[in-house]
Amino acid sequence: MAPASPTLDGSCTLLPAPGPSTDVLAAIAAEYATLSAEYGPRNVLVLKRHPAGLEPLTEALADVDLWEADGGPHSPRVESLPEHASKTIEEYDPTLSRLEYEERIELISLVIDGASRSVPDYLQRAAAHESFARDVGQLLLEATRQRIRLDDLDDPYDCLAFLYAMNDRFHAEIDDRGYVERADVIPQAVERLEANADELRTRVTGSFDAVLAVEFEEYRRLDRRYLAALTRNADLVCVGERHASVERTRVEPGRIDDIATDAGLAVETLEPETVRNGDTDTEPPHQPIARFLATGDSPVRSAAVGDGAGPPDADSRGRARRIRTGTAREQIRAVATEIQSLRDRHGWSYDEFAVAVPRIERVPETRRRLRDAGVPTATIGTPSLAEDPAVNELYAVVTCQCERERDGDGLERIDPAEPTRDASDPRAVSLDRLRARTPDFSTDLLAETAGVSVRRSLERWIRRTDLKGRIAREEAWVDAREQYEGVRRVLEIADFVEETDLVGPDWQGLRRMLRRTIQYDAPYVHAVETRPPTGGVTVCDVDDLKYDSRKAVFLLDLIDETYPGEQFLTQLFPTAWLREMPAYPAVTNPSPESIAATFATLDVRKTTESSSATQQNAKHSADAADIGDPFETYHAQRSRRRLALGARAAERALYCCSYERGAGGLRRSYDESRYLQLIDATPGLELEDVDAAADAAIHGETNALEALLAQPRGELERVLQEASTGGEADLGETEALFEEIAVVLEEGEIDGELAEAVRSQFEFAAGEVVRND
């Protein structure tokens, strides 16, 4: 049974609906100014639920004019709640160490391997799937965050009972070893603050007189307990947004108004006019679309409810742009072209653009394809270790050192020129990799860098082979930053191997842990930085835009299998099972009443007159009067909210991007997100199509070069096609085009390799060169 909701003593200001982030930050700044004037800025602690968006929040609060109140400039105390809880734990016990992701993988795998409990048949079969380990890891992390223990559950599903038992054993192990898991930081901090263990609460709360809790709509039950313990002797002011909770509603239904009231807070909902100070001229043209996605309110309905004046005028209509392409790859190329076009037209810098993907695993590929199209990107993160060349080199070193440790002359007997050698042999693969990446490689180099300490041996390899220098010279700065991070992670794993008793402190132990970490590692599980000093287009998960803003935002992959999607919560269990798993750490069996209480978009009174297109999709529509399947409806609404929050991050231009989806065989069809279809069919909302065809206007150096290379062959093919069909081709235009290209090649300042590439295209077109595929 879930513990009672904590009681909070304070006030809560709620914005009426997700608006531009500038409005949100302005409302927070106003509350901060009031508290700072009363207590002084140094005595006001600002807590944001999630780390994403801390920088713009800090900048907005730093701009608050407090010179008269404080007598000088100030630095606001802004922290994410997990960060503050982590410091609280360290204050209680400075010797506790947070368990790193790699260490967690190794320890929990050992716990499962040593389990005396029989593994359910379903999990044994599911373990063969590539995503199994990551799905299990996410499930256990969420169970830890919510303090779900096996002993507290009544007759849980067999699979859940097994996994929760392993999680309990895992935490018993890390407690014995003096570690704390990151997901367990807030639960442990809550327990120690509530008990005031070793005067912890007194010490932690002595440095502030007021707490400003930001992003309150995302505070879960344990988060609210943390606030309650932290503010027993401090003034508490909360700021949140209605219709904006995505993460909290994953595990807890209900509107933030009701949750704040039930917690004992005095709730005030700001009027829209108060938020924007009556200035409707500055509202972005797509804001009505963001509002419609979040609340279900359309311009037509708003006008009818307001003064009965009929349809809204042109200025109040919601407008966004739509990009539709044939493939996901063409979608990104069209986005790159549009970014270059906007730069040409408005002079915007690259860091004024954001490209939002539906899940964080899509970030690396999207960023790479944008860069291939000539658009620099700014996102820095930790990609999958398996894709990191520097990590693969160090893993090859470890593999070879393991062979040297086992058989001193084993590597010398592997001849790279031997035609019968096993190409899949890990030793041969590792040697080939080291020869390809390391100048003057020899097995003697391995012997010279090996020592008693695996950490110091790797450091010697890095210095002797100038690994970091090679990375800096050969890689773009974004890739270099990430590879340096990969090297750091490998060295940290080597440190852990030498300190722990989980594996042997030798090459075999390091190889085992590295192999498991690389296998189970997920893209961007650690940190993502979207505003590094060098600038560039931000590529991020759509959820990371909640407290951010850019001049133009591109929402990618708006197809129905992504928004809302077909697989909610996890791939680990079938949806039919999830509906029957009340112990699963998420909302799995919501009642129709709780769904209607959580999402305003399901208020049937807001359903407007619609076209036949909308009626055909009524069974899918979030505005349909019949809720249908409660599980799917509930989580589809969360997906709709994600789109709303991504849309509101755009300051000037919003782009909704989709592509064709294969439907089996040779057929391909557009399967646009039902929410785009709903926008299209709603009076007062418009989606303007962007020309993404091959003959559209060319923008950007890379696109121009590709168009130039394609012209010789394309023009000759046009002439041949006309001749083969009996038509007449104007050779004068062709001659003029070729003459212009020739003049540019001869007289222009053209790179020699580019000029040669263009000439080769003429040779291909004329049949003088045949490509051997």
DSSP-based helix, strand, coil % in the chain, nearest 5: 55, 10, 35
pTM of the model: 0.82
With CA atoms as reference, report the closest residue to 10 among 273, 189, 240: 240
Which ranges of the chain have pLDDT less than 50? 1-2, 68-69, 277-278, 308-309, 524, 604-625, 665, 694-696, 698, 770-773
pLDDT in the model for residue 582: 92
pLDDT, position 617 = 41
pLDDT of residue 102: 73
Q: How many CB atoms lie within 10 A of CB 567?
A: 10
Peptide bond into 564 cis (omega under 30): yes
Which of 87, 8, 78 minimizes the C-alpha distance to 46? 78
- Confidence at residue 65, expressed as pLDDT on a 0 to 100 scale: 76
C-alpha torsion 571→572→576→577, nearest 10: -160
Residue 303 confidence (pLDDT): 55
Q: What is the pLDDT of residue 444?
A: 87
Among 569, 518, 539, 528, residue whose Cα is nearest residue 362: 539
Residue 517 pLDDT = 82
Kind of pairing, strands 650-662 and 668-670?
Answer: antiparallel
Q: Going by C-beta distance under 8 Å and a sequence separation of 6 or more, which residues neighbour residue 437?
A: 389, 393, 470
d(CA 14, CA 28): 10
Among residues 6, 8, 49, the alpha carbon closest in space to that of 28 is found at 49
Taking only the tens place, the pLDDT of each residue in 693-709 is 544 454 555 555 555 55
The share of the chain scoring above pLDDT 70, in percent, equals: 75
Buried b / exposed e along 189-208 (16+ C-beta atoms within 10 A): bbebbbeeeeebbeebbeeb
> For residue 702, what are its two tokens?
């890379």
